[in-house]
Amino acid sequence: MEFPKAPTRERGKVAGVVTSPFPSSSSSSLLYKPGCSRKLETALQPAQGEGQRERKRNHPVIPDPKSTRIRSDQIRELIKDQRFFVASQHLLAMERDCSSDSGSKRKEDHVDHQSEIEDLFGLLKQEVLRIIRLSVSIAKAEPELLRDAVRTVAEQVEEDRRYTLEEKASGKAAHCRPRRWKDEWRSTVQESVTDRMKEPPFDSNEGLSTTAHSFLHMGKAMKDDLITVVKYIKGHYPEDFQVCSTYAQFYHKCFSAQLEMVAQFELGRKDTYLLLTWVQNIYPNEIRNHPILVKDLDQAHLGSLLPLRQIKQFEAAYLTNEVDAAKRSLANCLQLEVKKWAEGNEPPKLAGHYHSELHIDAIQIIHNKQKEAEGISAELGKQMSTLVLEELLAFLQSYKKALDIFMREKKNNQYFEATVVTNMNSCLGFQSHTEKTSGQDYIRVKIVNALTDIETAGCNVLVQCVVQELQPIFRKFTQRKWASCTDIIDEIIATAIHHVSTLRALKDPLRQAVIEKIHFFLVQEYISRLMKKKVSLRTPELQKNLSELVQQHASILCTFCLDNGSTAKWLGYALPSLAEIIKLQGTDTIMVEVGMLASKYPDISKEHLSAILYIKGNLSRNETRSILSVLDIGVTATLPHKHLFSSIRV
C-alpha cells in the first residue's frame, strides 16, 4: 500500500524552502524492509506524544519507521513540509537498512541506494540548517518549527556518536559516518551571528558618527539576540550543545574583531571615548552582567573585547586628549571673563549677590571630564580627577595673575569694587567644589591655598578702597578742636555706608571678613587720631566732655559695624575704656581701668598709654609713672590675643 504524499505545510511554515539540488534516483520507488535490531528500534522511538503533535498540525499519519518504510520521494515531501524530525527518523532507518543489506544486493543497486540516501541527507541538512540560521528571528513566532529542527540536529549528532562507539568496539569504519552535523551546526550559528551583526545602512540623521552607529548596532544586536537565545532557544537544545555559550562566543568574537579593526585607525577624541566606554563599561556591565544573561555568559568565559595592552594605550591617549581639551576650555573661559572686566559694566546679580558664570563654567568643565572618565571605569575616573585638578590649579594661578593686574591698573573703573566682589564670590564657588571633590590631597591643598590668596587679595583691595577715602576724613580730627568734630564722625559713617552698600552683594563669610577689617580700621584709626592730637586738658570738666564725645563716637562706630555684619565684638571695649581713663580722676581708679584694658588688649604699650594720659593735663609725673607701672604687672588676658595697639605708631 502506498501512502499519500504529505500536504504542503501552510500554517507556521518558513517561506523560501529550497528544493533539493540532488536529482531523484530511480530507486526512490522502492520500499525498504525492516532490518534493524530491537535495540536500534528502541533508540529511534519517537518522543511520547509526537504522533499527537503531528496530528494537531493536520498532517496525515506517517508510518512508524520501526515497522514500515516509506519511499524516498515521501521523505522529500516531509522535508519540503518542514517535518524534519520525522523525515530524519525515516532517513536514519533507510541508512541503517542500506548498511545492513549491503552484502545481499548487487553492487550497482547498493550504490544507487547509497547515492539516494546521500541526496536526502544533503537536502535535510540544507533545510534544517537554514532554520537553525534563522533561529533568533523565528524563536518566538515558530517555536515548534525551531524545536523540530533542533531535535533533528541533536538526533544526527547522537547517531554520529553511536557510530563512533560501534566503530571503536568493532574496529570497522562506517563510510557514511560521522556526518559532522554538530560542526555544521556551529558553522551555521557563526554565519547567523555574522549576518545579524552586520552594520545596517548608516543614517546620518540619527546624529551619530559612523563608529557610534556601528557600536550601538552591534551592542544592541548582541544583547537582544542573546536574551532571545536564553529565553526562547536554549530550552530546545540538549545541555551538551552549550548553546548559550556557543552563541555568546561567536557574538563576542564578531564584536571584538570589529573593535580590533576600528582600533587600527587613528581615532578622534569622541571615538576614543566611545570605544573605551563600550569596552570598559557598557559591554561588561550592560551585556555580560545583564540579569537575564549573567549566569549563562559567566559560563562562556568571554573576557574583554580588546587586549589589556591595547586598552591601556587608548586610556593614555584618552587622558591626554581630554586634559588638553579641558585646558583649552578653561583658558577660553578666563579670556572671556577678563574681557568683561575691561568693558566696565556693572556685573549682574543673582539672589542679591554679584554673580559671574566663571566658576560655574570652569567647574562644569572639570566635573564633566571627571564624570565622563568615571563612566568608563572607576580607575580611569581617579586618574582623570587628579589630572583635571592639576589643570584647575594652573587655571586658578592664571586667574589670580589676571585679577591682580585688574586690581592694580583699573581702580578708576566705575564698577571696580563690584567686579572685585564678583570674583570673590566666584572663589567661594570654587572652594565649595574643591571640598566636595575627591583627588590627591596635596593638589586640593594647593587649590585651597590659591583660592585663599585670591580672596585675601580681594579683601585687602576692598578694605583699602575704604581706607583711602576715610583717612583724609580722619585727619580732620587732628586739625580741629574736639568740640567741633561732631560732623566728622557723620562724614565717616556716610562714606563707609557708600562702600558697604557694594559689600552687601558679597557673600558670607567673605563679606563678614571685609566688614570686620573695616571695623578694625575704624577703631584703630580713631585711637590713632586720639593719641596723635597732642591736646592736654587740665580740668576734669574738659576731660569729661572729651570722654563723653569719645563714648558717643565709639557707640556710633560700633553700632554701624555690628549692624552691617561684623562679629568683632572684641573691638567694642577699646574706645569706651580709653574714654573712661580720660574721665576718671583718682589714680587708683585709673589704674584699675588700665589693668582691665590691658587684660583685653595685651599689646598696648606704655607709649600708647602715655599718649592717652597726656590728655589728662592734671596728672603729676609720679601719678603718671604709677599708672604706667600697671603694664609692668603680668595681666591675664580675658580675650583671645588679637593685636589692636601694636600697629599704632605714636
Query: Does the structure show a pLDDT above 70 at 27?
Result: no
Average pLDDT over residues 290-299: 92
Q: What pLDDT shows up at residue 130?
A: 95
Is 386 within 8 Å of 439 (Cβ atoms)?
yes
> Distance between CA 147 and CA 132 in Å, rounded?
10
What is the band of 21 on the pLDDT scale with cuts at 50, 70, 90?
very low
Q: What pLDDT shows up at residue 638?
A: 56
Q: What pLDDT shows up at residue 56?
A: 40
Q: Which pTM was predicted? A: 0.74
Query: Does the structure show a pLDDT above 90 at 247?
Result: yes
Average pLDDT over residues 444-473: 93
Query: Does the structure show a pLDDT above 80 at 377?
Result: yes
Highest mean pLDDT among 103-112, 348-357, 627-636: 348-357
Q: What pLDDT shows up at residue 635?
A: 57
Average pLDDT over residues 253-263: 91
Residue scoring higher pLDDT (172 or 34) = 172
Residues forming a β-bridge with 616: 537
What is the band of 637 on the pLDDT scale with cuts at 50, 70, 90?
low
Q: What pLDDT shows up at residue 351?
A: 93
Q: What pLDDT shows up at residue 17?
A: 35
> Distance between CA 102 and CA 270 in Å, rounded?
69
> Distance between CA 53 and CA 236 in Å, rounded?
16
Contacts of 413 (CB under 8 A, 6+ apart): 341, 344, 419
Average pLDDT over residues 638-646: 73
In our burial notation (b when 16+ CB lie closer than 10 A, e otherwise), range 385-402 reads: bebbbbbbbebbeebbeb
What is the band of 437 on the pLDDT scale with cuts at 50, 70, 90?
confident
| Contacts by 190-194, CB closer than 8 A, 24 or more apart | 190/250, 191/133, 192/132, 192/133, 192/134, 192/135, 192/136, 193/225, 193/247, 193/250, 193/251, 193/254, 194/250, 194/254
Percent of the chain with pLDDT over 90: 60
Is 54 within 8 Å of 21 (Cβ atoms)?
no
Residues forming a β-bridge with 537: 616
Residue-wise pLDDT tens digits, 119-161: 898 999 999 999 999 999 999 999 999 999 999 999 999 988 8
In our burial notation (b when 16+ CB lie closer than 10 A, e otherwise), range 41-61 reads: beebebeeeeeeebeeeebee
Query: Does the structure show a pLDDT above 70 at 25?
Result: no
What is the band of 62 on the pLDDT scale with cuts at 50, 70, 90?
low
Query: Does the structure show a pLDDT above 90 at 2?
Result: no
> Distance between CA 388 and CA 433 in Å, rounded?
13
Average pLDDT over residues 581-593: 93
Average pLDDT over residues 550-558: 94
Residue-wise pLDDT tens digits, 32-49: 333 333 332 333 333 333
Query: Does the structure show a pLDDT above 70 at 233?
Result: yes
Residue type at 104 in one-letter notation: S
Quickly count: other Cβ atoms within 10 Å of residue 88's Cβ: 29
The C-alpha cell 566732655 sits at 545
Q: Whole-number mean pLDDT of the chain?
A: 84
> Distance between CA 158 and CA 630 in Å, rounded?
113
Query: Does the structure show a pLDDT above 90 at 458?
Result: yes
Instruction: Specify the range with the lowest mean pLDDT, choosing from 313-327, 436-450, 606-620.
Output: 436-450
Average pLDDT over residues 227-245: 95
Q: What pLDDT shows up at residue 67?
A: 57
Q: What pLDDT shows up at residue 99?
A: 66
The four Cα atoms 64, 69, 72, 74 give a dihedral, to 10 degrees, of -50
Residue-wise pLDDT tens digits, 477-498: 877 777 667 789 999 999 999 9
